[in-house]
């Protein structure tokens, strides 16, 4: 075995009752390498991680660290062998400070509860490890962001002399900037010789950060290759397997669309670099079109293109038959296309603004002219909300609302900023005409 192999698994098995969840898993993580681990939900990734963390003493097979056999009978033993795991739900003690967390389990008796000594020791430790936490060691962990908590865990792992550091879905709760900063830390640690294992559902991100990739399916390793040699499509195919491909091919013809209805939105062979390649879909009035695929296959990107968030590098978009080019979401909104994003909390809402402002944010963008005043905004948000409720009830055939709503709806959109009498610059009529109509036959 080459000397640069930090972690070596040979024929690792784990069963839950009769169910074989890890089926003779072989894996080699080399020093200086970021090793990605991918697989469908239930493929066995977390079970493998938990086995390495010492949580499943009844597993089979062998583990070696730096060539020496390692025993993984409990978490303490696994840590002392040099394996550190950063689970998706961080395991810091919220009520304690950063320093107390860093030193937890490291001969606390020596310093007692002398805060100054704990602080000094923790600061020395952070310095020695050489990873910035970005927060005072005296801060309480309870108010810290996921990104900072993650750094504390990384520092803690390195302080415990981790030879192998495993991160299970580490980017799930990070912003884009935090994600990139994590990638730099991951690379830095690999360069120092730590064996890095990186588990993620995001295939793009896996391609970006890993050097080597192991794909698991049904508890088995189905491929282990240099990341460069695998395209996202091949990764997906390996994760799904042949049987699934056949099922997909077979079922493609099922579910005939009603082609008498007009096509309201159409993507004709749209591409975004090599992330989205020649995708065509047509959405007819009254239709619900599902876009399915693995994480990283391009579903979100397609939706972003359809709603003007991202601009396609090829292909055409058509709304009710006429070609459109959106330079941003505003263009799509004015054509009556709205997106409820994947992460509503961070991408869809302004959490620091009141409900009223969130409700009429799209209308506010259309407002031209003098400074916005709060009172009209609240007023029109309330009316906008009532109007939506009415439209919804009408669509369900609830006649109580038909009369009062019908007469007034002709005056233009109800959801608008600027109070009564103000008409949006684009007239609003277009919005009403082209907006999603709850009754397609009308």
Q: How near is the Cβ of 410 to Mg ion at its closest, in Å?
A: 54
- Which stretch, 37-45, 282-290, 332-340, 425-433, contacts ligand ATP (CB under 6 A)? 37-45
Q: Which of 41, 260, 327, 352 is in the footprint of ligand ATP by CB under 6 A?
A: 41
Q: Which is nearer to ligand ATP, 18 or 397 (CB)?
A: 18
CA distances (Å), origin 164, targets 26, 79, 123, 129, 195: 16, 10, 23, 15, 4
Which range in 34-42, 135-143, 264-272, 413-421 contacts ligand ATP by CB under 6 A?
A: 34-42
Mutual angle of helices 115-129 and 146-159, in 10-degree steps: 80
DSSP 9-49: EEEEEEEETTEEEEEEEEEEEETT-EEEEEESTTSSHHHHH
Please choose, from the candidates 410, 26, 30, the residue with its C-alpha nearest in 3D space to the C-alpha of residue 196.
30
- Exactly one of 9, 21, 98, 306 binds ligand ATP (CB under 6 A); which one? 21
Shortest distance in whole angstroms from residue 405 CB to ligand ATP: 46
Residue 363 near residue 432, CB atoms below 8 Å: no
Residue 46 within binding range of ligand ATP, rule CB under 6 A: yes
CB closer to ligand ATP, 219 vs 336: 219
Measured from the CB atom, the residue of 85 and 317 that comes closer to Mg ion is: 85
Tell me how far, at minimum, the Cβ of 16 lies from ligand ATP, in Å: 3
The yes or no reply on residue 42 touching ligand ATP (CB under 6 A) is: yes
Residue whose CB is less far from ligand ATP, 20 or 339: 20
- Strand pairing partners for 319? 265, 322
CB of 408 to ligand ATP, least distance (A): 50
Nearer to ligand ATP, 23 or 437 (CB): 23
Long-range CB pairs of 208-211, under 8 A, 24+ apart, other chains included = 208/183, 209/34, 209/36, 209/183, 210/34, 210/35, 210/36, 211/33, 211/34, 211/35
Q: Between 16 and 346, whose beta carbon lies closer to ligand ATP?
A: 16
CB of residue 47 to Mg ion, shortest distance in Å:
8
What is the Cα–Cα distance from 78 to 46, expressed in whole angstroms?
Answer: 16
Where does this chain touch ligand ATP (CB under 6 A) — which range of 38-46, 322-330, 343-351, 386-394? 38-46
Q: Does 46 bind Mg ion (CB under 5 A)?
A: yes
Q: Which stretch binds Mg ion (CB under 5 A): 43-51, 104-112, 204-212, 273-281?
A: 43-51
Q: Which of 16, 91, 291, 408 binds ligand ATP (CB under 6 A)?
A: 16
Q: Which is nearer to ligand ATP, 47 or 300 (CB)?
A: 47
- Sign of the alpha-carbon torsion through 298, 300, 303, 307: negative
- Which is closer to Mg ion, CB of 38 or CB of 377? 38
- Contact assessment for residue 29 and residue 2, using Cβ atoms and an 8 Å cutoff: no
- The residue whose two tokens read 């669309």 is 257
User: Which entry of Mg ion, ligand ATP, none binds 42, CB below 5 to 8 A by partner kind?
Assistant: ligand ATP
Order of strands across the sheet that contains 212-217: 83-86, 164-168, 195-199, 34-39, 212-217, 220-226
Strands 212-217 and 220-226 come out as antiparallel
Least Å distance, CB 17 to ligand ATP, is: 7
Q: Of 280-339, which residues contact ligand ATP (CB under 6 A)?
A: none
- Rounded to an integer, what distance in angstroms lies between the CA atom of residue 384 and that of residue 203? 40
Q: DSSP string of 124-173?
A: HHHHHHT---SS-TTSBGGG--HHHHHHHHHHHHHHTT-SEEEEESTTTT
Task: Give the one entry of ligand ATP, Mg ion, none that residue 39 binds, where binding means its C-beta sits below a cut-off of 5 to 8 angstroms depending on kind.
Answer: ligand ATP
Q: How are the residues of the chain apportioned to helix, strand and coil, as percentages rounded to the nearest 5?
A: 40, 20, 40
Cβ at position 163, least distance to ligand ATP in Å: 23
Q: Which C-beta is closer to Mg ion: that of 46 or that of 380?
A: 46
Rounded to the nearest 10 degrees, the angle between the axes of helix 176-192 and helix 146-159 is 10
Residue 428: which of Mg ion, ligand ATP, none does it interact with, CB under 5 to 8 A by kind? none
- Closer CB to ligand ATP, 44 or 376, in the complex: 44
Residue 47 as a binder of ligand ATP (CB under 6 A): the answer is: yes
Closest separation in Å from C-beta 127 to ligand ATP: 35
Q: Which residues bind ligand ATP (CB under 6 A)?
A: 16, 21, 39, 41-47
Q: Which residues bind Mg ion (CB under 5 A)?
A: 45-46
């Amino acid at each position: 075995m080459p000397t640069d192999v930090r972690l070596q698994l040979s024929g690792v098995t784990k069963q839950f009752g009769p169910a074989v969840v890890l089926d003779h898993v072989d894996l080699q993580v080399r020093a200086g390498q970021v090793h990605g681990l991918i697989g469908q939900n239930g493929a066995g990734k977390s079970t493998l991680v938990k086995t390495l963390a010492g949580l499943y003493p009844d597993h089979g097979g062998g583990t070696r660290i730096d060539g020496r056999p390692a025993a993984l009978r409990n978490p303490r033993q696994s840590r002392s062998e040099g394996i550190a795991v950063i689970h998706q739900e961080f395991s810091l003690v919220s009520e304690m400070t950063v320093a107390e967390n860093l030193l937890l389990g490291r001969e606390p008796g020596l310093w007692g509860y002398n805060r100054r000594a704990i602080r000094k020791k923790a600061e020395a430790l952070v310095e020695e490890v050489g990873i910035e936490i970005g927060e005072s060691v005296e801060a309480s962990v309870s108010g810290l962001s996921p990104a900072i908590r993650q750094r504390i865990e990384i520092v803690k792992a390195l302080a415990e002399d981790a030879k192998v550091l495993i991160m299970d879905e580490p980017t799930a709760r990070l912003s884009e900037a935090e994600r990139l900063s994590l990638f730099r830390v991951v690379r830095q640690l690999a360069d120092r010789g730590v064996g890095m294992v990186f588990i993620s559902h995001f295939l793009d991100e896996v391609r970006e950060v890993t050097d080597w990739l192991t794909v698991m399916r049904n508890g088995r390793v189905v491929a282990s290759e240099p990341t460069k040699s695998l395209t996202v499509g091949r990764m997906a195919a390996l994760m799904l397997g042949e049987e699934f491909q056949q099922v997909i091919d077979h079922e493609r013809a099922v579910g005939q669309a009603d082609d008498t209805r007009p096509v309201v939105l159409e993507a004709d062979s749209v591409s975004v670099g090599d992330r989205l390649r020649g995708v065509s879909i047509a959405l007819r009035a009254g239709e619900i079109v599902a876009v399915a695929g693995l994480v990283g296959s391009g579903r979100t990107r397609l939706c972003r293109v359809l709603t003007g968030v991202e601009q396609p590098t090829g292909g055409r978009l058509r709304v009710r038959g006429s070609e459109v080019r959106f330079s941003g979401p505003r263009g799509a909104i004015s054509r009556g296309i709205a997106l409820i994003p994947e992460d509503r909390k961070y991408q869809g809402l302004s959490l620091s603004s009141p409900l009223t402002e969130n409700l009429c944010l799209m209308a506010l963008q259309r407002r031209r002219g003098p400074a916005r005043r709060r009172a009209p905004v609240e007023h029109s948000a309330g009316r906008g909300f009532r109007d939506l409720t009415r439209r919804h009830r009408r669509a369900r055939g609830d006649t109580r609302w038909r009369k009062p709503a019908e007469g007034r709806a002709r005056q233009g959109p109800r959801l608008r900023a600027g109070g009564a009498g103000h008409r949006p610059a684009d007239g609003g009529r277009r919005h009403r005409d082209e907006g999603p109509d709850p009754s397609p036959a009308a």
